[in-house]
Structure 1
Amino acid sequence: MSLPVLKSLRDCSDYSLTVEPFIPQLYALPARLLDVRNLEGLTQLYIETNPLLSAFAVSVVIAGVFLVVSEVNRNYSQADRMWSILPNVYVAHLAVWARLAGLPHGRIDLVAAFTTVWSCRLTFNYWRRGGYSVGSEDYRWFVTPNPSKMPGVAFFLLNVTFISFIQSVLFVAMSCVPAYAILLSSRFNPEITTADLAYFAVEVTLVLSELLSDGQQWAYQTAKHQYYKDAKLPSGWNQADLDRGFITSGLWAYSRHPNFFAEQTIWFLLYQWSCYATNSLYSWTFIGSGTLILLFQGSGWLTEAITAGKYPEYAEYQRQVGMYIPTSFRGYQAPAHKPKVIRTSDLAKRQQEKEKQK
């Protein structure tokens, strides 16, 4: 038996009924895999294993891969490279499993469609920023905790726990866990509802807002670096904005991190979708999005600390604009001051200093 016998929709969000009975399958899975002799046997094992537990098992294996690769290459952004891919894979896995098991799959297909759109957007943006280039690594690892400034054993333990294992399991928790509850509820309500379509529409809208905010950031950074390189003001930009060093227009005029706000909301909304599907006010499926929100608080604080240390005007930006949730619809108002004049020679000198640091 791979799915629980449930009596009501609310049972679909009960951890003791939907997960605990299948934990022994997790322990038995390695031995059963060794007994597989052909593709048919593997398919049968796949169907007979609870889909949430099999996803968790895969995440543990992937965590081991993250650990080994990061230690061998001394590059700790292995999970970052898979952040935009694995959550979608886990939801798509539920959709495939439902088909093979002969279960209603319309609603889980809808969830998978949204996560696929999300995955394409984030993967594209990560690629555009050079995330998949050989040797690329999240700049925050060079600030804190810096592996070169921490005892080797301490950083290894951090890698084993948070960097490799916790992040890998988080991919399952924030995507597959709420989607699993929706899959279970489909046995009671197999048809896609108007509310399902509404959740889907809002999710896609949030993804589009990320696409917009990332595009605005990309355009600004491209113009800024070109300006610093050749001292020529790009068309459509003014000197004061580029001298500031950070973007304050578009969605960024109302939120200091509109993309981060949308990302947290996306996964919290998936949790809410699972609550609706299971007729529950709240449930344990919040574990993934809740952890993600906490993670963003720390990550956001670190990003802010780095940025504030680089740009003097950022403190004023922080005062006027909310970190995630907009606090005013007026938008950022730059303080009145004379535009800073930067000579071409100054820009050339700055570029030479950067080249020396490389």
Structure 2
Amino acid sequence: MGQILRTKYFIVNTMGNVKNIIIAFLAPLPSILFYLSFLNHYHYSPTSHHPSLWKWCYDHPLLLANVLFFFNVNVLFWLVALLQSSHWMIDPYWTVIPVILVHYYASHPVAQYDWWRSRILIVLTWVWSMRLLHNYLRRENWQWGQREDWRFTEMARQYGTHWWWASFFAIYLPHQIFLIALSLPMYVVHSSVDQPLTMWDMVALLLCVSGIAIAYLADTQLHNFVKLRQGGEAVVPVLETGLWYYSRHPNYFGEQVWWWGVFVFAWSMGHGWTFVGAFTNSMCLAYVTKLVEDRMLKQGYRTEAYTLYQRTTSVWVPWFKSHHLKTKNA
């Protein structure tokens, strides 16, 4: 009987996983098909005549990105979430949307850019995306949509019966603001005059690679620690080895270094105003950091150890401890 139940659970779980994978892959198709239709129908020449819709898409690439994001991500993803009673899909798509956006900016008919700078940024964005998507999937035991972000679950409890409509404004609109703002340097790189590479592009490359590497190492160390705890092998309540010895959130630090590196590509071309994306992301991570630490302190077996960890260890930037950590023997 037990074997039958396990087999039934496995089949149901697998079917649910496959269903969510299909949904995730179909979700961006409306925007992709619309954009491909635009590219297929719009051929610019001084004497050409096009429907006003295609002309608008040609003249306003950044606005078009926002319109497609609003209807395809905000509205469609929100409707899917209501049907599934879970806002899981926006989490993996945080890693995918920047890749879609950088290719969109590079392929738009009005794009003009240095080939090397564009390819460097595109490759870096792919590497960042694959790293983050890999971390998401291994954290979720390679399951798609089995659970939503714990912060969304807590917000659902707070909003109660109003969550069905409040979730649109609490989850999806902020994601549009963050991701479009973060992608502004990608837009600038592909919409400015053809400027050759400079020393600052090499600085941006170094920052981006460093950010990806730091975040990967930090997330891997955290993943291994969680696995040890789940297997009963780790008895310490707080991870304080590796990068986590020098920073309480080295993964967040790496993520910020990545986005500030992307900003340097645009800054080197004279578009310092694009700092708004990296700055907004840093402010968001500051808030998320508070939420995570408050949650840690509420877990009784961790409270004392984590309080001491807070007093001795840097929040983001890896640094030496303020004093030697003294632990009590059990």
TM beyond 0.5 = yes
Distance (whole Å) between structure 1 residues aligned to residue 132 and residue 231 of structure 2: 24
Q: Which residue of the partner structure matches residue 60 of structure 2?
A: 50
Preserved CA contact (<8 Å) 1:88 1:116:
yes
The structure with the greater share of residues assigned to helix is 2
Aligned partner (choices 286, 293, 298) of residue 275 of structure 2: 286
1:252-272 deviation line (CA, Å, top 9, x unaligned): 001100011111222123223
Map of 1:73-92 to 2, 5 A cutoff? 73-92=84-103
Distance (whole Å) between structure 2 residues aligned to residue 38 and residue 51 of structure 1: 12
Q: Which residue of the partner structure matches residue 129 of structure 2?
A: 119
Distance (whole Å) between structure 2 residues aligned to residue 124 and residue 264 of structure 1: 18
Q: 1:101 to 1:216 in 2, by over 3 A?
A: closer
Aligned partner (choices 95, 102, 107) of residue 96 of structure 1: 107
SS in 1 for 2:102: helix
Q: 1:102 to 1:303 in 2, by over 3 A?
A: closer
1:307-344 deviation line (CA, Å, top 9, x unaligned): 11211310000000111123x42488442311x3xxxx
- Is the aligned partner of 1:222 residue 2:222? no
Q: Which residue of the partner structure matches residue 309 of structure 1?
A: 298
Map of 1:15-26 to 2, 5 A cutoff? none
SS in 2 for 1:337: coil
Q: Which residue of the partner structure matches residue 172 of structure 2?
A: 164
Distance (whole Å) between structure 2 residues aligned to residue 331 and residue 121 of structure 1: 32
Q: Which residue of the partner structure matches residue 350 of structure 1?
A: none
Higher relative contact order (CA 8 A, sep 6+): 1
**Cα RMSD (Å):** 2.8
In structure 1, list runs of 5 or more residues that go unmatched: 1-29, 228-232, 234-241, 341-358
Q: Which residue of the partner structure matches residue 181 of structure 1?
A: 188
SS in 1 for 2:197: coil
Preserved CA contact (<8 Å) 2:204 2:265:
yes
Distance (whole Å) between structure 2 residues aligned to residue 132 and residue 87 of structure 1: 22
**Aligned-partner residue type, residue 102 of structure 2:** V
How far does residue 286 in structure 1 lie from its aligned partner after superposition? 2.4
Q: Which residue of the partner structure matches residue 299 of structure 1?
A: 288
**Aligned-partner residue type, residue 175 of structure 2:** Q
Structure (1 or 2) with the larger CA radius of gyration = 1
1:274-321 deviation line (CA, Å, top 9, x unaligned): 12212x5x31x2232222112112111111011112113100000001
- Is the aligned partner of 1:128 residue 2:120? no
In structure 2, list runs of 5 or more residues that go unmatched: 1-30, 45-53
TM-score normalised by structure 1 residue count:
0.71
How far does residue 205 in structure 1 lie from its aligned partner after superposition? 1.6
Distance (whole Å) between structure 1 residues aligned to residue 323 and residue 235 of structure 2: 16
**Aligned-partner residue type, residue 277 of structure 2:** G
Moved over 3 A (4+): 36-39, 42-47, 100-105, 330-334
Q: Which moved more, 1:101-110 or 1:59-68?
A: 101-110
Give the number of aligned pairs: 283
